[in-house]
């Protein structure tokens, strides 16, 4: 753990100096003589602990410092120091979120004991948050034969450093698989750096990946490291690799072959040590045949191939995913109940947006539900309503694919023909939306 940053706020310079000497063994101690100076210090960077005197001349007092810290650094503990007898003010500070309060004159042992306890709490809060994020982001939920095969491949591939290519439709969970690979690899203590190649313009991609020197192009006001350097010792996840242009493809090939990059505007190579995990929802062999993707780069990336099947091909995983997402988005930490009828309809739906769409649908249902019980009425058409309309229509039962197409057309109409907004609400990419609209007779060119 790096050295703690501690801020001492007191209008008495002797008191500040004494606290700095006492707390020096715990970390780097800075001083501020009043709430305004403390605010300026806090704006310069995060602190792990703040000690503030209660009574200070205007403007403000220790409570103002406490409120400032809680507003901008809510996890940073604040210890309030108060003159003996001012217990009422100390209790006010506790109610406002102070970690503890101490009375003057200083008790050296008490100050060190409380400060150590506060710093340990801060460390535990950060550690627990990090662990929760790792678990959430790398969770692979399901026990279908197709997903169990993915589990096995992840376990086998995690120990090596070779590149991995993950394929699958949009929303199938490719980044979660990449995070699972990283978490189970010897690089787990290193960084995991995700890059959405489809969201970066071709002109900026080179700088994003490899960095640049100051003045190497218009707007390069300073030198910058690229994500390959940021991912040293860890994993670099290149999502939507199929969208990368030919120039950058050749540079990626060189990095994979030689283990070094060249920053834009520099000629000196820089060694890098990042495991590359790439993902795509495109058929890269088809793109090679079209002449828009390098075959030699595909071979370099596709050393280990993991394919994530769409959700409609592993429906047995849907109940577990629904419960997982219901627990993640539940109010007050209490998981809601999903009725058997609602679960049946969720399982029967084709989910063109896959796992991501399923999570969004469950999250939206929970946001609007106050009972804690999710029934068919809590989900949108055609998931929640289609079976009611079809009851008794044995001779006219449209497929779930047809219902998906009708729903896409309905959403597009509801948002005034805005394809981007419709795709966002449906949680599918624009290509999938176009296919759905073409099948309904809606002009895909409509904007």
Q: Which residue has the tokens 């004991």?
A: 113
Distance (Å, rounded) from C-alpha 77 to C-alpha 7?
11
Please indicate, yes or no, if residue 263 is contained in any of the structural domains.
yes
**For residue 302, what pLDDT is reported?**
96
CA 299 to chain centre: 30
- Domain CATH for 42: 3.40.50.2300
Q: How far apart are CA 254 and CA 84, in angstroms?
A: 69
- Identify whether residues 13 and 80 lie together within a single domain: yes
For residue 231, is it within any domain?
yes
Q: Looking at residue 300, what is its pLDDT? A: 96
My answer on whether 423 and 276 are in the same domain is no
Number of domains the chain is built from? 3
Which residue has tokens 């009574």? 55
Q: Residues 314, 144: contact at Cβ < 8 Å?
A: yes
Q: Which domain holds residue 339?
A: 314-440
Question: Is the residue at 139 inside a domain?
Answer: no
Same domain for 75 and 222, yes or no, is no
Residues contacting residue 375 through CB under 8 Å, at least 6 positions apart: 339, 341, 342
Give the global pTM: 0.56
Last residue of one domain, picked from the residues 292, 309, 326: 309
Structural contact between residues 342 and 375, judged by C-beta atoms closer than 8 angstroms = yes
pLDDT of residue 89: 63
Q: Please, how many CA atoms are within 13 Å of residue 373, restricted to the half-sphere of its CB? A: 5
Dihedral of alpha carbons 351, 355, 359, 362, sign: positive
pLDDT attached to residue 391: 40
| Residues lower than pLDDT 50 in the chain | 1, 131-138, 386-398, 445-447
Residues 163 and 263 in one domain: yes
Helix, strand and coil percent figures for the chain, each rounded to 5: 50, 15, 35
- Contacts for 281 with CB less than 8 Å, ≥ 6 apart: 167, 168, 169, 170, 174, 240, 242, 429
CATH number of the domain where residue 350 is located: 1.10.8.60
Within this chain, do residues 300 and 159 fall inside the same structural domain, yes or no?
yes
Question: Are residues 173 and 303 both part of a single domain?
Answer: yes
**Residues 229-258: pLDDT tens digits?**
999 999 999 999 999 999 999 999 999 999
Domain check: are 320 and 291 in the same one? no
- Give the position of tokens 């009851």: 391
Looking at the structure, do residues 320 and 426 belong to the same domain, yes or no? Answer: yes
Query: Would 140 be classed as within a structural domain?
Result: no
Cα separation, 83 vs 188, in Å, equals 48
Domain check: are 115 and 152 in the same one? no
* Residue 446, in any domain of the structure: no
pLDDT of residue 121: 79
Q: What is the pLDDT of residue 447?
A: 42
């Amino acid at each position: 753990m790096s050295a703690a940053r501690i801020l001492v706020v007191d209008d008495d310079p002797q008191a500040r100096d004494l606290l700095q000497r006492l707390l020096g063994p715990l970390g780097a101690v800075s001083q501020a003589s009043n709430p305004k100076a403390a605010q300026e210090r806090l704006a310069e960077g995060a602190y792990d602990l703040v000690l503030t005197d209660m009574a200070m001349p205007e403007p403000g007092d220790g409570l103002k410092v406490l409120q400032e810290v809680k507003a901008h650094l809510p996890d940073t503990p604040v210890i309030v120091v108060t003159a003996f007898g001012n217990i009422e003010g100390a209790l006010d500070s506790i109610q406002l979120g102070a970690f503890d309060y101490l009375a003057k004159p200083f008790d050296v042992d008490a100050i060190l004991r409380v400060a150590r306890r506060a710093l340990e709490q801060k460390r535990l809060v950060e550690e627990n948050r990090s662990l929760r994020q790792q678990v959430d982001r790398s969770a692979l939920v399901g026990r279908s034969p197709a997903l169990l095969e993915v589990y096995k491949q992840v376990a086998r591939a995690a120990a090596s450093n070779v590149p991995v290519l993950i394929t699958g439709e949009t929303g199938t969970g490719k980044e979660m698989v990449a995070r699972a690979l990283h978490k189970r690899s010897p690089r787990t203590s290193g960084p995991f750096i995700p890059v959405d190649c489809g969201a970066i313009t071709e002109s900026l991609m080179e700088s994003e990946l490899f960095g640049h020197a100051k003045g190497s192009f218009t707007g390069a006001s300073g030198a910058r490291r690229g994500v390959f350097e940021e991912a040293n010792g860890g994993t670099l996840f290149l999502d939507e690799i199929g969208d990368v242009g030919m120039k950058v493809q050749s540079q990626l090939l060189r990095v994979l072959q030689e283990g070094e990059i060249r920053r834009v505007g520099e000629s000196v190579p820089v060694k890098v040590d990042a495991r590359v995990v790439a993902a795509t929802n495109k058929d890269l062999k088809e793109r090679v045949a079209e002449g828009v993707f390098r075959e030699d780069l595909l071979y370099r990336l596709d050393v280990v191939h993991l394919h994530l099947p769409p959700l409609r091909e592993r429906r047995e995983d849907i109940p577990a995913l629904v419960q997982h997402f219901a627990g993640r988005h539940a109010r007050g930490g209490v998981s809601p109940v999903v009725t058997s009828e609602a679960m049946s309809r969720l399982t029967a739906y084709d989910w063109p947006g896959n796992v991501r769409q399923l999570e969004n649908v469950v999250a939206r249902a929970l946001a609007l539900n106050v009972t804690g019980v999710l029934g068919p009425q809590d989900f949108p058409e055609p998931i929640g309503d289609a079976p009611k309309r079809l009851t008794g229509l044995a001779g006219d039962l449209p497929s779930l694919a047809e219902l998906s197409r009708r729903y896409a057309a309905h959403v597009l109409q509801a948002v005034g023909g805005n394809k981007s907004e419709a795709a966002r609400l449906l949680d599918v990419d624009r290509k999938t939306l176009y296919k759905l609209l073409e099948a309904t007779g809606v002009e895909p060119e409509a904007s």
